[in-house]
Structure formats: structure tokens, C-alpha cells
């Protein structure tokens, strides 16, 4: 039973570029959440997708956007990259968006470096 899978593992971009990160949830899970983990920090909630809609959003600018597909997989898009966007981006999945099934099962993350 595959857990949460994320791609790519590592990514290097330059300032101003755009990036797309991908996530496949654990089998049986229908909710995907994205987190940004800067070096030496805890994960910060970006947003959550359920039934192909953004249900909750953290304090991140509109440059951060996402999508969820009918098969529950999800993408995180970041436009106009800044140096401060360098971080580990974690995807987590759960069965349903609320309550005790949270927080979730996590993938190993995508390490994004901005030059």
C-alpha cells in the first residue's frame, strides 16, 4: 500500500520563475494538505484541498495556488519565485478534511531551492 508520494524530490529554480509540485495521496485518502517547512522551522500550513476545492488556507500570498484532480492527486503552484520560497514542501493526505483523522500521513517532501 503506497503512502503519500511527492515529485520531484529536489528542484532548483531561479527568482521569478514558476514551479509546480505534485502529490499523490495515500490509497483511500481524499484530502490533501500542503505545508511549507523552512530550514529549522516547523511546517506551515499553506492550504487544503477536498472535493477538488480549496477548503482552508494559511497565511500565504496568492502566488501560491493549487489544484486537486478527480483521482485526489494534487498540485502546488508557486509563481514569481522569491529567495524566501526556498523550503521543503510537504504534502499530507487524510480521509476527510476535519477532526480526528487530521493531521495526516505525510510524504517525504520536495526540496525547493531558489537561486
What gap in Å lies between CA 70 and CA 57, rounded to an integer? 20
Q: What is the dihedral of CA 98, 87, 1, 105, to 10 degrees?
A: -30
Residue 98 interacts with other proteins (CB under 8 A)? yes
For other proteins, give the closer residue by CB, 4 or 19: 4
Total residues binding other proteins (CB under 8 A): 28
Cβ 15 to other proteins, closest distance in Å? 25
Q: In this structure, are residues 76 and 46 in contact, taking their beta carbons and an 8 Å threshold? A: yes
Reduced to 3 states, what is the DSSP secondary structure of residue 13?
strand
Q: Which stretch binds other proteins (CB under 8 A): 11-19, 65-73, 77-85, 89-97?
A: 89-97
Instruction: Kindly state whether residue 107 participates in binding other proteins, applying the rule CB under 8 A.
Output: yes
Query: Does residue 109 belong to the site contacting other proteins (CB under 8 A)?
Result: yes
Question: SS3 for 43-60, per residue?
Answer: CEEEEEEECCEEEEECCC
Window 14-53: residues binding other proteins (CB under 8 A): 33, 35, 40-45, 48, 50
Amino acid at each position: 500500500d503506497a503512502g503519500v508520494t511527492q515529485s520531484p524530490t529536489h528542484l532548483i529554480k531561479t527568482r521569478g520563475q514558476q514551479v509546480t509540485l505534485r502529490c499523490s495521496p495515500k490509497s483511500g485518502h481524499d484530502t490533501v494538505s500542503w505545508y511549507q517547512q523552512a530550514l529549522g522551522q516547523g511546517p506551515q500550513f499553506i492550504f487544503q484541498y477536498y472535493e477538488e476545492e480549496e477548503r482552508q488556507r494559511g497565511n500565504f500570498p496568492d502566488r501560491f495556488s493549487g489544484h486537486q484532480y478527480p483521482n485526489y492527486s494534487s498540485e502546488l503552484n508557486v509563481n514569481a519565485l522569491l529567495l524566501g520560497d526556498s523550503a521543503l514542501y510537504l504534502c499530507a493526505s487524510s480521509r476527510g478534511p476535519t477532526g480526528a483523522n487530521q493531521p495526516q500521513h505525510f510524504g517525504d517532501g520536495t526540496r525547493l531551492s531558489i537561486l
